[in-house]
Amino acid sequence: MMFSNKQLTKLIWPLVIEQILTMIVGMADTMMVSYAGEAAISGVGLVDMINNLIITVLAAIATGGAVIVCQYLGSQKKEQANFAASQLMTITAIISIAIMVLCLVFHRGLLQLFFGSIEADVMNACIIYFLITALSFPFLGIYNSSAAIFRSIEKTKVTMYISLLMNIINIIGNYIGVIILQAGVAGVAFPTLISRIVAAIIMLVLSFNHENPIYIKTKEIFTFNTTMIKKILQIAVPNGIENGLFTLGRVLVTSIVAVFGTSQIAANSVAGSIDQIAVVVVNAINLGIVTVVGQCVGANDYDQATYYIKKLMKISYIITAIIGGVVILALPILLNLYSLSETARNYTYILVIMHNIMAFALHPTSFVLPNGLRSAGDVKYSMFVGIISMLIFRLGSAYLFGIIFDLGIIGVWIAMGADWACRSVLFMIRFVSAKWKEYKLI
């Protein structure tokens, strides 16, 4: 077997720690900014929907590079893997800087487009938070791509330690900015910017280390090789379109949520923060499966690729059930950490329970399984499934249940479950058909 249980644990466990740290910081952001009022927490929650869209695009580029690097590693082609890693940094820098500039120039138009109906104080919070966090996009892109390279060579402890540093900076900065300086949303945004700058610089420096199995070279970063870039984008573009539209769908759904009032917007933000607990291990497996399946496919061993997809799916279901159940039992305690009105608290309670039940039933087949397929190079099918499901269920059903049936935020989250169900069925059909084995990229 290419990966023993010990190797899988060594690969995935640091990723779990990394995801937990990221989740904790996200929850800390939401908790601390909640003390600046519901307008502030609503503004941060709304902008984070747009920011998540950008993050998704940058993550898709990093995944595209990681898949190519992993397949070259599986084929024992180290020089090509090094070159792919270097070209990943090139295309990441170009795209992330372009995104930052567009967001800075058109920030007001974007916010009015998605959330034009929100109250003035919420919009003001959105503008402040969006402008500051937009400056971090190039640094986040560099960090993501560098981290993807280290995950490809199974050095996940490196990304774990840098994530720890980044999140310590963030939490301390949040406390200083929000609690001590009482800077509101700016007190949350600036620590995010600073932590991403520090993490990007450190990861980039480490990526040049020639002692690593795979490393980047200065001369290759400043070379634009269309053949290699095309290979990376062959994964990144469909993946980015799928996940980008999925996230865009969430943004559009949030624009529907915005008409339900501040209490439901706040509940949506807080529930979204708490919900990350149940899927924290699954998110780590999503990252690890790229390395595992990518190397198996690079070695042209599809039997092992199939075996590991099934094994990681099984682990995902078991862990999601355990953690999700614990979170539901601990909800009364968790909700005391937030400064919420009674109405917002009640909505949050319902939303978290709904999410954790749906996550156990559908999350692994909706997200872990397609990531395994993408790692083999089968990205267009995932893209089409994602687009269709987002339009019909994530967006269409949210409007139907939330607005037409007047179920409010509850209806929107029912639509989310319908989206996951559609994705699960279609991805399982693809996996069983074995057509995903026809897409090796190198």
User: CB of 239 within 8 A of CB of 60?
Assistant: yes
Q: Using one digit for the tens of pLDDT, what is the confidence trace for 125-161?
A: 889 999 999 999 999 999 999 999 999 998 999 999 9
Residues contacting 442, CB < 8 A, separation 6+:
68, 71, 72, 75, 77, 80, 231, 298
pLDDT of the residue at 157: 92
More confident residue, 57 or 114: 57
Residues of the chain with pLDDT > 70, as a percent, come to 99
Rounded to 5 degrees, what angle do the CA atoms 121, 406, 52 make? 50
**276-292 tens-digit pLDDT:** 899 999 999 998 999 99
Going by C-alpha positions, the residue among 284, 290, 276 that lies closest to residue 324 is: 276
Closest CA to 3 of 267, 227, 315, 216: 315
Structure confidence by residue, pLDDT tens digits, 103-115: 999 988 888 887 7
Least confident of 27-41, 169-183, 308-322: 27-41
**pLDDT at residue number 358:** 96
pLDDT tens track for 252-275: 787 788 788 888 988 998 898 889
pLDDT for the residue 27: 67
> What is the Cα–Cα distance from 230 to 101, expressed in whole angstroms?
24
- pLDDT tens by residue, 165-179: 998 898 899 889 888
Q: What percent of the chain has pLDDT over 90?
A: 58
Residue 339 vs residue 7, higher pLDDT: 7
- Condensed to tens digits (0 to 9), the pLDDT of residues 33-43 reads 777 777 777 78
Where are the domains positioned within the chain? 5-438
Distances, alpha carbon 168 to alpha carbons 161, 175, 196, 305, 399, in Å: 11, 11, 12, 37, 39
pLDDT of residue 138: 96
What global pTM score does this model have? 0.81
The tens digit of pLDDT for each residue in 340-371 reads: 899 999 999 999 999 999 999 999 999 999 99
What does the pLDDT average to over 71-84?
Answer: 91
Token pair for 128: 């402040």
pLDDT in tens, 418-438: 999 999 999 999 999 999 998
pLDDT tier for residue 116 given thresholds of 50, 70 and 90: confident
pLDDT at 30: 66
Residues in contact with 323: Cβ distance below 8 Å, sequence separation at least 6, in sequence order: 277, 278, 280, 281
Could you tell me if 70 and 290 are in contact, meaning their C-beta atoms sit under 8 angstroms apart?
yes
